[in-house]
Amino acid sequence: MNRTALIFEKPRSVSLQTEAAPTPGPGELLVETRFSAVSSGTERLFYRGGVPEGMALDAAIPALAGRAKYPFKYGYAAVGRVVGADRDVPEGWAGRRVFAFNPHESLFAARPGDLYPLPADVAWRDAVFLPNMETAVNLLMDGRPVIGASVAVFGAGIVGLLTTALLVRFPLSALVSVDPNPTRRTLAGSLGEQVRSVAPDGASAVLSALADGRGPDLVYEVSGRPEALDQAVALAGFDTRIIVGSWYGDRRCSLDLGGRFHRGRIRIESSQVTTLAPGLRGRWSHRRRLATAMAMIREISPSRFISHEVAFSRAPEAYAQLDRDPDDVLQIVFRYRD
Could you report the per-residue pLDDT of 257-267, keeping only the tens digit for each?
A: 887 888 889 99
Asked whether residue 15 is assigned to any structural domain, the reply reads: yes
Q: What share of the chain is helix, strand, coil (3-state, %, to 5)?
A: 35, 25, 40
Per-position b or e across 89-128, b if 16+ CB within 10 A of its CB: beeebeeebbbbbbbbbbbbbbebebbbebeeebebbbbb
* Total length of the chain: 338
| Pair (93, 146) in one structural domain | no
Asked whether residue 329 is assigned to any structural domain, the reply reads: yes
Asked whether residue 283 is assigned to any structural domain, the reply reads: no
Which CATH number covers residue 230? Answer: 3.40.50.720
Question: Which amino acid does the sequence have at 75?
Answer: G
Decide: 252 and 227 in contact? Cβ < 8 Å.
no
Mean pLDDT of 85-112: 92
| Pair (136, 255) in one structural domain | yes
* Residue-level pLDDT at 310: 97
| Pair (10, 101) in one structural domain | yes
Any idea what DSSP says for residue 105? B
Asked whether residue 281 is assigned to any structural domain, the reply reads: no
| Pair (72, 13) in one structural domain | yes
| Pair (258, 143) in one structural domain | yes
Please tell me the total count of domains within the chain: 2
How far is 231 from 233, CA to CA, in rounded Å?
Answer: 5
Mean pLDDT of 71-76: 92
* Residue-level pLDDT at 89: 84
| Pair (155, 251) in one structural domain | yes
| Pair (137, 249) in one structural domain | yes
Can you point out the beta strands (E) in 120-257?
A: 150-154, 174-178, 195-198, 218-221, 241-244
Asked whether residue 287 is assigned to any structural domain, the reply reads: no
- Write out pLDDT tens, residues 110-134: 999 999 999 999 999 999 999 999 9
Decide: 228 and 160 in contact? Cβ < 8 Å.
no
* Residue-level pLDDT at 50: 80
How far is 75 from 101, CA to CA, in rounded Å?
Answer: 7
* Residue-level pLDDT at 4: 97
| Pair (140, 11) in one structural domain | no
How far is 247 from 306, CA to CA, in rounded Å?
Answer: 22
Mean pLDDT of 261-290: 90
Which CATH number covers residue 54? Answer: 3.90.180.10
Return the higher-pLDDT residue of 257 and 150.
150
| Pair (101, 148) in one structural domain | no
Q: CA distances (Å), 155 to each of 40, 164, 245, in order?
A: 13, 10, 10
Q: Is the pLDDT of residue 59 over 60?
A: no
Q: CA distances (Å), 263 to each of 179, 236, 237, 239, 267, in order?
A: 27, 12, 11, 9, 11
Q: Look up the domain containing 60 and give its range.
A: 2-118+306-335
Phi-psi sector, 183: left (phi>0), alpha (psi -120 to 50), beta: alpha
Asked whether residue 298 is assigned to any structural domain, the reply reads: no
How far is 14 from 316, CA to CA, in rounded Å?
Answer: 6
| Pair (88, 25) in one structural domain | yes
Asked whether residue 156 is assigned to any structural domain, the reply reads: yes
3-class SS at 308? strand
| Pair (210, 248) in one structural domain | yes
Asked whether residue 299 is assigned to any structural domain, the reply reads: no
* Residue-level pLDDT at 54: 66
| Pair (225, 185) in one structural domain | yes
Decide: 138 and 271 in contact? Cβ < 8 Å.
yes
Residue 216: φ, ψ to 5°:
-70, 145
